[in-house]
């Protein structure tokens, strides 16, 4: 192959999935010249696993990305066809928005965003080599011989890197949806000393809606008053699609058990590690033998197609076994499969090789993002892509890196988990992974993070001022409610008793009444003569802050206490073998990870509280 000089760029982004999109847009919007490579431009922003954005914990990431100036939330609001706020029966800390997307519409929106962005070139090409000079990134070469000279490269290869799809006994070198895999780049990375490992994920079968009997399924409607993903979306979203719920049964499970020797998961064909929190249907049946049924969600792929995802039915069983399994399920007895389910194995990096900026520790200018970093999910990929794109651009521009703390964002917890603890399976964000989840709610992501987006130059002044005005209105209303008192009356007593609350003996402030568990802001409207006309977003914040004030204060104290030691820097050349009291495993792990701070050291797998006490004592005696 003859090579040729294709030109210069600041940053090359390899891949145009959810990570690559955000990386390329963020870097270009910061003023860098960006080239983004996609193996197939018709699959920019593809959704091979499910046609949805958000979900438990994941909705938080989308809202945080939006507050920082990312694109995913806006694209979702342009393309989503059904919205549901999950966990409404629980506290606001775990409320998470999830929306069904029109898959092709979402891809078109994202592709146009890349094509329209000044300073960004979107090119259909396979990146096969990353050139390194003097230890740092110097170029990216494509399969057609184009050599792009640049100072940084961001690997966003998703499941394409040495991808292999598996359906029963049929194994193919392939990326998702039958697209070409990327092979040479994996060999290049190995030659550069990049520590690769093999992970696996799966997809469910797709069926034709014409062959489905929805009368045997439970309807899953969208919210009556749907909320958008983006804080800047002014028009309320419209629910234009329905989802359905059905279940497997004992006959389904019998077929799986009878064909287990043909399952690549149990025959040894699949060697990659799969996601714990999104297992295949055969894994569910074998892991939970006493469970008589498993939920399946029937989700539309879009408004202009009859294809439906059978979500929860991921499998690598042979196609004929999949058909037999499906035909045991209520409503799917005559279902026609349009695309069989498959498992896909792919190469990814051990994220312990990365800094918190997502730059490789040993290869300056090389960054990783998304499933390449060992995570799973569109949302996890998007936020990593954004952070990698931002940090690559900031380094080129000579600005300070941008790293979010765990106490500031789910994004901070996600990246900290990956680069400090590592992961032995595809990592999925959940609300339980954040120790500060009461503070890091999806409803207040704009308050927490818009200031950073503005400081970076990715959020407009107009948007930033709107967020400040919103929270000034929240503060003003809280003060007004604290200072507005209601005297005892028969009407007030009747209202409170009707809500299951005892009337106050001598009157009470509106704030004190709303703090009660069964009383909402709207319940006292008729007693509140001076109530301002406030948008729902402000009212929601007022109510949450009143009801959870005590818990929020306690968590803020925890953040302050932890921050005292959390941010204490550790020297990059620190000799951990010289620290008395450290166990051998801790010495090895600390020397390998090289944590930047005391707090990160404590989150390394294999470093115990006793090791941290020894390290703290050593740092206390060490001369500055």
pLDDT at residue 624, as a whole number: 55
Please give the Cα distance from 281 to 314 (Å, whole number). 6
**Which pTM does this prediction carry?**
0.92
* Cα–Cα distance list, 178 to 104, 174, 206, 346 (Å): 16, 6, 14, 14
Q: What is the pLDDT of residues 365-410, one digit of tens each?
A: 999 999 999 999 999 999 999 999 999 999 999 999 999 998 899 9
Instruction: Determine the topology of domain 461-552 in CATH.
Output: Arc Repressor Mutant, subunit A (1.10.10)
The DSSP code for 164 is: E
Please give the Cα distance from 153 to 149 (Å, whole number). 10
Please give the Cα distance from 147 to 130 (Å, whole number). 10
pLDDT at residue 275, as a whole number: 76
**DSSP-derived pairing of the beta strands 307-311 and 337-339:** unpaired
On whether the CB atoms of residues 395 and 410 are closer than 8 A, the answer is no
pLDDT at residue 459, as a whole number: 98
Q: Which residues of 423-439 are buried (b: 16+ CB within 10 A; e: fewer)?
A: beebbbbbbebbebbbb
On whether the CB atoms of residues 622 and 594 are closer than 8 A, the answer is no
Residues in the chain: 624
Stretches where the chain sits below pLDDT 70 are: 561-562, 609, 623-624
pLDDT at residue 586, as a whole number: 86
Specify the domain boundaries for CATH 1.10.10.1800 within the chain: 461-552
Pick the CATH number of 567-621 from 1.10.600.10, 1.20.120.80, 3.10.105.10, 1.10.150.570: 1.10.150.570
The CATH H-level (homologous superfamily) assignment of domain 4-202+346-456 is FAD/NAD(P)-binding domain (3.50.50.60)
Positive or negative, the Cα torsion across 259, 264, 269, 270?
Answer: negative
* Cα–Cα distance list, 281 to 83, 262, 289, 346 (Å): 26, 14, 12, 20
Please give the Cα distance from 249 to 603 (Å, whole number). 42
Specify the domain boundaries for CATH 1.10.150.570 within the chain: 567-621
Q: Is 343 buried (19+), middle (13-18) or exposed (0-12) by CB count in 10 A?
A: buried
**206-343: which CATH architecture?**
Beta Barrel (2.40)
Q: What is the pLDDT of residues 483-541, one digit of tens each?
A: 999 999 999 999 999 999 999 888 899 999 999 999 999 999 999 999 999 999 999 99
Name, in order, each residue with C-beta under 8 angstroms of 410's C-beta and a sequence gap of 6 or more: 57, 60, 61, 64, 429, 433, 434, 440
Q: What share of the chain is helix, strand, coil (3-state, %, to 5)?
A: 40, 20, 40
Task: Give DSSP secondary structure letters for 71-114.
Answer: SHHHHHHHHEEEEEEETTTS-GGG-EEEEEE-HHHHHHHHHHHH
Specify the domain boundaries for CATH 2.40.30.260 within the chain: 206-343
Joined together, the tokens standing for residue 51 give 């046609």
pLDDT at residue 623, as a whole number: 59
Name, in order, each residue with C-beta under 8 angstroms of 330's C-beta and a sequence gap of 6 or more: 213, 216, 217, 246, 247, 249
Joined together, the tokens standing for residue 555 give 């968590």
SS (H, E, C) 555-571: HHHHHHHHHHHHCCECC
On whether the CB atoms of residues 603 and 416 are closer than 8 A, the answer is yes
List the one residue out of 238, 308, 312 whose CA is nearest residue 280.
312
Specify the domain boundaries for CATH 3.50.50.60 within the chain: 4-202+346-456
pLDDT at residue 568, as a whole number: 83
The DSSP code for 36 is: E
Positive or negative, the Cα torsion across 415, 419, 422, 423?
Answer: positive
Name, in order, each residue with C-beta under 8 angstroms of 141's C-beta and a sequence gap of 6 or more: 3, 127, 128, 129, 130, 131, 147, 148
Partners of 273 in the beta sheet? 199
Task: Give DSSP secondary structure letters for 243-309.
Answer: EEEEE--HHHHHHHHHTGGG-HHHHT---SBPPTTS--HHHHHHH-TT----EEEEEES-TT--EEE
Q: Which residue has the tokens 């931002």?
A: 390
List the one residue out of 57, 55, 95, 54 whose CA is nearest residue 75.
54
Please give the Cα distance from 552 to 99 (Å, whole number). 28
Please give the Cα distance from 99 to 88 (Å, whole number). 15
H/E element holding 616? Answer: helix 609-621
Name, in order, each residue with C-beta under 8 angstroms of 550's C-beta and a sequence gap of 6 or more: none
């Amino acid at each position: 192959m003859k090579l040729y000089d294709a030109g210069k760029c600041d940053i090359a982004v390899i891949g145009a999935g959810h990570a690559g999109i955000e990386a390329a847009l963020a870097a270009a919007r910061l003023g860098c010249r960006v080239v983004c490579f996609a193996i197939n431009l018709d699959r920019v922003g593809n959704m091979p696993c499910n046609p949805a954005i958000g979900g438990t914990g994941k909705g938080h990431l989308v809202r945080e990305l939006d507050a920082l100036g990312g694109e995913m939330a806006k694209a979702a609001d342009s393309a989503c066809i059904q919205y549901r706020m999950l966990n409404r029966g629980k506290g606001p800390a775990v409320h998470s928005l999830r929306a069904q997307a029109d898959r092709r519409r979402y891809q078109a929106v994202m592709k146009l965003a890349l094509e329209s962005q000044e300073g960004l070139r979107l090119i259909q090409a396979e990146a096969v080599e990353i050139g390194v000079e003097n230890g740092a990134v110097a170029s990216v070469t494509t399969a057609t011989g184009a050599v792009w000279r640049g100072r940084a490269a961001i690997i966003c290869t998703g499941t394409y890197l040495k991808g292999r799809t598996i359906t029963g006994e049929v194994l193919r070198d392939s990326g998702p949806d039958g697209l070409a895999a990327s092979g040479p780049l994996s060999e290049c990375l190995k030659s550069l000393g990049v520590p690769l490992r093999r992970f696996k994920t799966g997809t469910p079968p797709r069926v034709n809606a014409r062959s489905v009997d929805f009368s045997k399924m439970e309807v899953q409607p969208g919210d009556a008053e749907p909320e958008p993903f983006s804080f800047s979306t002014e028009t309320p979203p419209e629910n234009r699609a329905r989802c359905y719920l059905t279940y497997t049964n004992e006959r389904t499970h019998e077929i799986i058990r009878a064909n287990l020797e043909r399952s690549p998961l149990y025959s040894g064909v699949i060697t990659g590690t799969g996601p714990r929190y999104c297992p295949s249907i055969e894994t569910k049946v074998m892991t939970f033998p006493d469970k008589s049924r498993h939920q399946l969600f029937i989700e539309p792929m879009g408004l202009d197609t009859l294809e439906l995802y059978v979500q929860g039915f991921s499998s690598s069983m042979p196609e004929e076994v999949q058909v037999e399994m499906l035909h045991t399920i209520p409503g799917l007895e005559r279902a026609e499969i349009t695309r069989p389910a498959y498992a896909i194995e792919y190469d990814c990096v051990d994220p312990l090789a990365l800094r918190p900026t997502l730059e490789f520790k040993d290869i300056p200018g090389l960054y990783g993002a998304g499933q390449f970093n060992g995570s799973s999910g569109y949302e996890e990929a998007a936020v990593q892509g954004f952070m990698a794109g931002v940090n690559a651009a900031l380094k080129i521009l000579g600005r300070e890196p941008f790293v979010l703390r765990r106490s500031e964002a789910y994004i901070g917890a996600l990246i900290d988990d990956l680069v400090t603890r590592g992961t032995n399976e595809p990592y999925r964000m959940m609300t339980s992974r954040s120790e500060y989840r009461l503070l890091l709610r999806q409803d207040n992501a704009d308050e927490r993070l818009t200031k950073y987006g503005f400081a970076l130059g990715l959020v407009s002044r107009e948007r930033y001022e709107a967020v400040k005005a919103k929270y000034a209105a929240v503060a003003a209303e809280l003060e007004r409610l604290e200072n507005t008192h209601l005297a005892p009356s028969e009407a007030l007593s009747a209202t409170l008793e009707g809500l299951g609350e005892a009337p106050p003996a001598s009157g009470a402030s509106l704030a004190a009444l709303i703090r009660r568990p069964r009383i909402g802001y709207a319940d006292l409207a008729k007693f509140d003569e001076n109530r301002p006309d406030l948008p729902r977003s402000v009212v929601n914040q007022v109510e949450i802050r009143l009801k959870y004030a005590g818990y929020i204060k306690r968590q803020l104290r925890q953040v302050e206490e932890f921050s005292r030691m959390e941010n204490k820097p550790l020297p990059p050349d620190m000799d951990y073998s010289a620290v008395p009291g450290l166990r051998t495993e801790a010495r090895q792990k600390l020397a390998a990870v090289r944590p930047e701070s005391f707090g990160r050291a404590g989150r390394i797998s294999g470093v115990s509280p006793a090791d941290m006490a020894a390290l703290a004592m050593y740092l206390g005696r060490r001369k500055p």
